[in-house]
Structure 1
Amino acid sequence: MAQIPAGTGGSGKLSRKQTGDAWETEARRWLESNGLRFIAANVHVRGGEIDLIMKDGAATVFVEVRFRASAGYGGAASSVTRSKQTKLLHTARLWLARHNGSFETTDCRFDVIAFTGSQIEWFKNAFGE
């Protein structure tokens, strides 16, 4: 696993955004090494964001990346709540519409890449409509 860089500034700590960006980059590299092709990152629409959009063969894959330093309060995957899933579905629906697609016309799935400590888990098709 790649080393996450030290932050800038006096404290040496990464900001929350820098930490998220670093783990998203790590997830992208990991997915690409597993055969997926990068499409987009940090896609924002009103009401939501998708960390990564990848292609796995013909399927468009919307990826949520989560990190937890430990499993003390539940692992990283457990932080993808039903509310978060609803926001991701909404965001994906809007992104597809902007690209002349829909859930009905596009083969797609929702994956979660969960980093808990130094462990990585890939939950393919973690949730759906």
Structure 2
Amino acid sequence: MSKTAQQTAGTHAEAQACAYLADQGLSLVERNYRCRQGEIDLIMQHGNTTVFVEVRYRRNSGFGSGAETVDRRKQQKLINAAAHYLQRQPRRAQQPARFDVISMRPAPKALHIEWIQDAFQAG
């Protein structure tokens, strides 16, 4: 798959994940937050909790699920990017926060979506 096709698939997967989470009662705060520390796909609000969401799409689960690709190194990048974001958003820094992973793959009639809440702990 070309880089452009991957980016298109990634953008589509993020839009699908955002819609799915909105259906679950979360609201979008920001999409594709970028800083030197990394990128956060979606920042959502769930009640009084700020939720940092990593979206993973796999066309083929032969090498594991998308969630399994969020290793310790990727987790640390997300934690650092979230800390950067919270330093610039003092009101949100006062709220609870968590890290969720949305793992997606094709299914016969639609996407199969797995939502892992509080997927890893900062610290």
Cα deviation for residue 117 of structure 1 reads: 2.6
For the residues of structure 2 that align with 1:121 and 1:95, how far apart are their CA atoms?
Answer: 25
Tell me which residue corresponds to 1:106.
95
Unaligned runs of 5+ in 1: 1-10
Measure the CA separation in 2 of the matches of 1:15 and 1:94. 30
SS at match of 1:66: strand
Residue among 35, 39, 54 paired with 1:49: 39
**Contact 1:93/1:102 (<8 A) preserved:** no
Q: Check the 8 A contact 2:50/2:92 in 1, yes or no.
A: no
Give the CA RMSD over aligned residues.
1.8
Q: Percent identity?
A: 41
Unaligned runs of 5+ in 2: none
Residue of structure 1 equivalent to 2:114: 121
TM-score (norm 1): 0.84
Report the alpha carbon displacement of residue 101 of structure 1 after superposing the two structures with TM.
5.3
Once the two structures are TM-superposed, the CA of residue 115 in structure 1 deviates from its matched residue by 0.4
Q: Equivalents in 1 of 2:73, 2:34: separation in Å?
A: 17
Secondary structure of 1:44 counterpart: strand
Separation in 2, partners of 1:14, 1:113:
22
- Please identify which structure carries the higher helix content: 2
TM-score (ref. length: structure 2): 0.88
Higher-Rg structure is 1
Paired residues, what number?
117
Query: Relative to 1, partners in 2 of residues 1:39 and 1:102: Cα closer, same or farther, differing over 3 Å?
Result: closer
Mapped to 2, the partners of 1:128 and 1:117 lie a distance apart of 28
